[in-house]
Structure 1
Amino acid sequence: MREAFTYTQNSQINVVFNQKKEKSAALPFPIDEKVSHAPLEKMEKALNRLVGMSEVKKMVKELYAWLYVYRKREEAQLKVGKQSFHMLFKGNPGTGKTTVARLLSDLFREMEILPKGQLIEAERADLVGEYIGQTAQKTRDLVKKALGGVLFIDEAYSLSRGGEKDFGKEAVDTLVKQMEDHNTEFILVLAGYSDEMDDFLQMNPGLPSRFPMIFSFPDFSGDELLQISGQMMEEREYRMTTEARKRLSRHLHQKVIDHDAHFSNGRYVRNLIEKTIRRQAVRLVREGAFDRDSLLTIRTCDLALDDERFPLNADEAFSTI
């Protein structure tokens, strides 16, 4: 798949996908070896460590191309206009939204779009106050803290769930005003579930036109979740036995099929790996086996799976070797 940005009159960006066979890691444009693209090379290195998200990765690369040409047009004293880089991230929890926001904040700093490039993470409680007058001030203070960088608000749709008397609407109205007053001084990224974010945009008539870029983060497949778990194990210097890997694979594929409402993709895998490592530690202490191979190895009985018919407690795990 290859994608390109097209522009509408209100500067919104639409992603047009053209069918074409090519490697997913291929750049969407040729690189002149005489030109330094260090920010892109750094971004590519970070993106290549991420599992899946092929379309998100392509959009990030094309965003780099857009920013690069934007700077070149400035240098050539061509008309560029004031561009808005505010974004919407749509997807379920644990699909990589915060990770990508952090990478983009670094990119905007290195491309000199933002002077600082810090990422300020926030949620409803950071914007909404308990009393009249608190919300607007809290929101303004948060934006002030984010000036020069990226303000990332997760589960942004929660600002619209309190009804007419809730202060969430005041927070949204204040954000819209701050986006207008400080349009080029910070980048706002609103993230949340796809359907809920679509409803959220209807909360204020000024919202949709202020977000020219929309990134969609699909759920990970069972194979991708298994790959993520393998990366996490490797980073922590652990390895699974063949049977443990097969058991984990079956478990993760089943989680994807079940599509549990509380299933949080990558976050679930991270929590599973951390619990598994603790279970392995308990087993090793009970066994008294601390040679290198034992310290490295994760067995099937170590896996902290929530679909076990008879979940093992610590003492039971010691006896099932």
Structure 2
Amino acid sequence: MRPRQNKTQQKELPPVPIKREQLESLMNELNDLVGLYSVKKLVYEISAFLEIQKKRHQEKLVSEPLVMHMIFSGNPGTGKTTVARILGNLFREMNVLSKGHLVEIERADLVGEYIGHTAQKTREQLNKSIGGILFIDEAHSLARGGEKDFGKEAIDTLVKAMEDQKDNLILILAGYKQEMDQFIKTNPGLKSRFPLHIEFPDYTKKELLQIADLMLDKRQYKLTASARDSLNRIIELKTGKGYEHSGNARLVRNLIEKAMRRQAVRLISKDEITVEDLMVITDADIEEAHEVLRVCKGLKKENFML
């Protein structure tokens, strides 16, 4: 005789067939991301667990309740938002979420200016997220002001919603590892409500070059040998001591996109432009892009408008 399910402890899972082709496509999209091996492994485990729990439910076996709220910890530019977006689509295809869309917000989208305003703003963001994922970047900033800060009101509202909307909402809190470890201790109800902790490691120098190559290939550009040397040198510099929060993949994307614009400026005055010219990015393009980004960063520190 099969054991009876405890219906009071678990979410009802609709007997909708899982779409295999879409699932495989999404897993391939995840696998195509550079690096993130531990992240990919955990996502695969989560998807496998969900699928098996559905099968157990259909066979009237006891199945574990589905609690998918997560903590993403890691430096900026390590793929957290990208993975969250893939997860939303994955959970939609697995019938865990009805829409699977991603709503990405930060402290300013939740915290108001007077008593009661924060709860109202937080509920508005929660309502937008129903059926999908609410992704709060730098979530640790909600606790930075202590007990009297309105961020605490946002946290309390989020905790309540996690219970009220548990069947069709996933909350992902993201931020630096050390800060997120501290943040999770600020509210007794947070730790137990976030069973999944995913740590996003910094990319290696080799992986950052791979990301650059993928970006260039997708856009039909290529680096000269000297341009590759320049890019490699800049990555070495920006991932060294004192650059722990340098931006990771964001740094590479900004460099490549700026180099593409510098190439356009270099070519626009030429009388004849070959197909090769249109594709090649030189070391001068890379170096000028780096200089512009460096100057812009300095201006931001001086609070100038860019």
Which TM-score applies when normalising by structure 2? 0.86
Query: Is structure 2 residue 66 aligned with structure 1 residue 83?
Result: yes
- Deviation of 1:58 after TM superposition, in Å, equals 0.8
- Deviation of 1:111 after TM superposition, in Å, equals 0.2
Correspondence for 1:135: 118
Correspondence for 1:247: 230
Q: In the aligned structure 2, how far is the partner of 1:263 from the partner of 1:201?
A: 25
Q: In the aligned structure 1, how far is the partner of 2:199 from the partner of 2:56?
A: 29
Q: In the aligned structure 2, how far is the partner of 1:190 from the partner of 1:292?
A: 46
- Deviation of 1:39 after TM superposition, in Å, equals 4.2
Correspondence for 1:72: 55
Q: In the aligned structure 1, how far is the partner of 2:135 from the partner of 2:156?
A: 17
- Deviation of 1:164 after TM superposition, in Å, equals 2.4
Query: Is structure 2 residue 107 aligned with structure 1 residue 103?
Result: no
Q: In the aligned structure 2, how far is the partner of 1:254 from the partner of 1:121?
A: 31
Query: Is structure 2 residue 163 aligned with structure 1 residue 163?
Result: no
Q: SS of the residue aligned with 2:197? A: strand
Deviates further, 89-98 or 66-75: 66-75
Write the letter of the residue equivalent to 2:248. N
Correspondence for 1:197: 180
Tell me if the contact between 2:258 and 2:289 (Cα under 8 Å) persists in the aligned partners.
Answer: no
Tell me if the contact between 1:95 and 1:217 (Cα under 8 Å) persists in the aligned partners.
Answer: yes
Q: In the aligned structure 2, how far is the partner of 1:288 from the partner of 1:169?
A: 62
Query: Is structure 2 residue 124 aligned with structure 1 residue 147?
Result: no
Correspondence for 2:204: 221
- Alignment equivalent of 2:193, drawn from 190, 210, 228: 210
Matches within 5 A, 1:273-292: 273-292=256-275
- Deviation of 1:286 after TM superposition, in Å, equals 3.0
Deviates further, 137-146 or 275-284: 137-146
Correspondence for 1:272: 255
Write the letter of the residue equivalent to 1:43. L
* CA-based RMSD: 2.0
- Alignment equivalent of 1:306, drawn from 290, 296, 306: 290
Q: Report the count of equivalent residues.
A: 277
- Deviation of 1:40 after TM superposition, in Å, equals 3.8
- Alignment equivalent of 1:260, drawn from 235, 243, 252: 243
Write the letter of the residue equivalent to 1:306. H
Write the letter of the residue equivalent to 2:87. L
- Deviation of 1:81 after TM superposition, in Å, equals 4.3
> Per-residue displacement from partner, 1:20-46 (whole Å, max 9, x unpaired)?
xxxxxxxxxxxxxxx974344112220
Correspondence for 2:13: none
- Deviation of 1:181 after TM superposition, in Å, equals 1.3
Q: Which ranges of structure 1 fall in alignment gaps of 5 or more residues?
A: 1-10, 12-34, 312-321
Write the letter of the residue equivalent to 2:290. D
Correspondence for 1:23: none
Which TM-score applies when normalising by structure 1? 0.82
Tell me if the contact between 1:150 and 1:187 (Cα under 8 Å) persists in the aligned partners.
Answer: yes
Matches within 5 A, 1:42-57: 42-57=25-40
Write the letter of the residue equivalent to 1:216. E
